[in-house]
Amino acid sequence: MSLAAAAFSACKNNHENIATKDNPLLNPFTSRYGIAPFEEIKDEHFAPAIVRSIDMANEELQLITENKEAPTFENTIAALDRVGQTLTDVTNVFYYYLGANTNDKLQKVAEEMSPVLSKYSDDIYLNDKLFARVKSVYDNKEAFQLNKEQSTLLDKTYKHFVRSGANLDEKGKERLRTINAELSRLSLNFGDNVLGEINNYQLVIEKKEDLAGLPEELIDAAAKDNKWVFTLQNPSVMPFLQYADNRTLRRRIWEAYKNVGNNGNKYDNKVLALQMSNLRREKAQLLGYETFAHYSLEETMAKTPDNVYKLLNQLWEPALEKSKTEASAIKERMQKDGITDEVKPYDWRYYAEKIRKEKYDLNEQELKPYFELKNVRDGIFMVTQKLWGLTFKEVTTLPKYHKDVTTWEVYDADSTLAGILYMDMHPRASKRGGAWMTSFRDQQMKDGKRQIPVIAIVCNFTPPNANGVSLLTFDETTTFFHEFGHALHGLLSNTNYLTLAGTNVSRDFVELPSQVMENWAADPVVMKMYAKHYQTGEVIPDELIRKIQNAGTFDQGFATVEYLAASLLDLDYHSAKENIKMDINEFERQSVQKMGLIDAIIPRYRTTYFRHVFAGGYSAGYYSYIWSGVLDTDAFDAFKSSGDVFNKEKAAGFRKHILEKGGTEDPAELYRRFRGHDPSIKPLLKKRGLVAPSVSVQEN
């Protein structure tokens, strides 16, 4: 018996006697809109609900597999799309809790259930009889006269089986099962370690003079028992690095930040990252691919590692040159303060902020009063109303999993309900860092009616002050617009099949709807509509807008290089053709050295806290943000060049060809249909202030 099979058997024995009628996760979600009864859910409900819903899904699968009728699109492919909806509901809630409201009990459940869910997935895609039915439909597709969406679902279903090992012999399948179960477990452990390390660190300051340079609101937020406590949560560590005059303390918190998961303690991730990289390489080669990057990129717009390296390297040279110029300016500014050292990473944000203020007379603290959280939210609502006629109604009667959450009904221009939106905005110990969008329920057509999606966005924005006011940085404002773009992708989805809905698209296309929204956040016309002083209601002055625009390309060498370095590091791990045997720190050092990265900058994510890659879905795919950056700047240029950032015709085209379509067609074709041509890289270079040779995004 395999490890996964043994785990499933043990879990079933442990949980099968728990009465399903008393488990709110196993009863139909009868609350309005089919939302989970969050207030009734307890930690102990998840494991038995997962085990029981797997049994239910397996019963549905058996009906498909044992069907005596000849395989057809409807009785095989469409039927598979509908399998396991109870399990999907349960796991959507569970993994959402794991990211946004976790605890030790849930993390243990996740570790226990990881091999169980891995086995369930493998049992589908390594089932010979089921694959035979899928292959029969695929081989005879012409006979079924399928429409475009049905053809896409068939192609993706067949490829998913093949890419999941359906063509392997029994020995290969058994090895694949073991690899998948182990990767699932390691990924969970990696993420838990990062969260644990972050929650375990505090920089405690006892002398008021050591707070010099810090904004009052940050000092107030850190105050605790006549001391001041700073953490590795972004709203704490980043402004500390940006404003703290005390270089020694900046270095101390920076060292803690850059060594998350790399301290040789119980949260250490070095071995886990090495194991995962090597297991992914083995999995890819078992399935017939040269490297994991080749396997991962096959179903993306980029297609191959060579295409990704080509884009990243084209951007690397001009970005690196700009970062060197920026570093020289920082060193010169440091010398004015009597510091003759070379520029260190813990100096960069601090002196960049000083230069920004001196060169552009732009102080981020001067901006924050105009970006109060509720005003920014209302600004986003306004943008989506002007573009697509959407309106948002806050409701307080929907189930919530945490008191900080707000819930919204989203209505279309014709007053029909488009979907439900949950928003969870501020950090807490039970929430992992960063910002993300997810769904409790995807859109689909069910019994001839559109099943409305239930979407959530989770962020870690500056917490409210004593008066309940949360003033965002402009970067946080941009992040809010970004995540709302993902939410729109889910909310406006209009597909027939669940697995093609919303954000179920390739990684290097999924960031287009989110990143394009960032452009409205920074547009002067739009800013005048939503950026209002939280106390006086004064609209942001033209002078401040000009300062933001003038500083628009400031520090973009740094921002681009640190991102590209992380993307290249990710690709280096997953382009390995043999097992990586060296220490992870040495591998990272060699990778960074090969890039020619300057010492004053490190990759945005170092290996041991690179959650996108080792605890998320972006392995060999972190490049997708810059790939989508080419798309989003080109897409927004369609609006700007029309003379109207709210151009109704362009907005309708973007909705029809991008937001509504999900994964129903080839993304490159969908983009061409919206834009009328392939994307140009020129708007991205202009936006970032980079000078480069003539380049273009290639598709092979």
Active site (catalytic) residues: 483
Token representation of residue 223: 């105050």
CB 686 within 8 A of CB 667: no
Cβ atoms 656, 387 nearer than 8 A: no
Q: At what angle do helices 170-200 and 104-125 cross, to 10 degrees?
A: 160
By the 8 A CB rule, do 449 and 619 touch? no
Both tokens assigned to 330: 């920082």
Q: Tokens 């950056």, residue?
A: 629
Strand partners, 451: 444
Lookup: tokens for 558: 């740094």
Helix 247-258, helix 234-243: angle, nearest 10: 140
User: Rounded CA gap, 308 and 567, in Å?
Assistant: 9
Contact assessment for residue 662 and residue 493, using Cβ atoms and an 8 Å cutoff: yes
CA distances from 32 to 11, 29, 416, 491 (A): 32, 8, 15, 17
Greatest CA separation for the chain: 83
Residue 436, φ and ψ in degrees, nearest 5: -160, 160
Closest to 614 in 3D by CA, of 239, 267, 189, 18: 189
Count other C-beta atoms under 10 Å from residue 205's C-beta.
20
User: What type of residue is 115?
Assistant: P
Alpha carbon distance 42, 23 (integer Å)? 9
Q: CB-side exposure of 509: number of CA atoms within 13 Å?
A: 27
Q: Encoding tokens for residue 507?
A: 């990684």
CA distances, 538 to each of 85, 369, 528 (Å): 49, 10, 10
Q: Is the distance from CB of 686 to CB of 630 less than 8 angstroms? A: no
Q: With beta carbons less than 8 A apart as the criterion, state whether 300 and 508 touch.
A: yes
Q: Map tokens 């509908």 to a residue.
A: 82
Q: Hey, CA dihedral for 203, 206, 209, 215, is it positive or negative?
A: positive
How far is Cα 291 from Cα 289, in angstroms, rounded to an integer? Answer: 6
DSSP 8-state code for residue 290: S
Tokens of 22: 């008393």
CA angle, 114 then 183 then 586, to 5°: 140
> How would you write 233-259 as a 3-class SS string?
CHHHHHHHHHHCCCHHHHHHHHHHHHC
Here the tokens at position 478 are 């941009």
Rounded to 5 degrees, φ, ψ at 650 are: -65, -40
Q: Are the CB atoms for 121 and 180 separated by under 8 Å? A: yes
Cα 151 from Cα 475, distance rounded (Å): 41
CA of 349: how far to CAs of 158, 344, 353, 366, 560, in Å? Answer: 49, 10, 6, 17, 14
Cβ atoms 409, 416 nearer than 8 A: no
User: How far apart (Å, rounded) are the C-alpha atoms in residues 288 and 244?
Assistant: 52
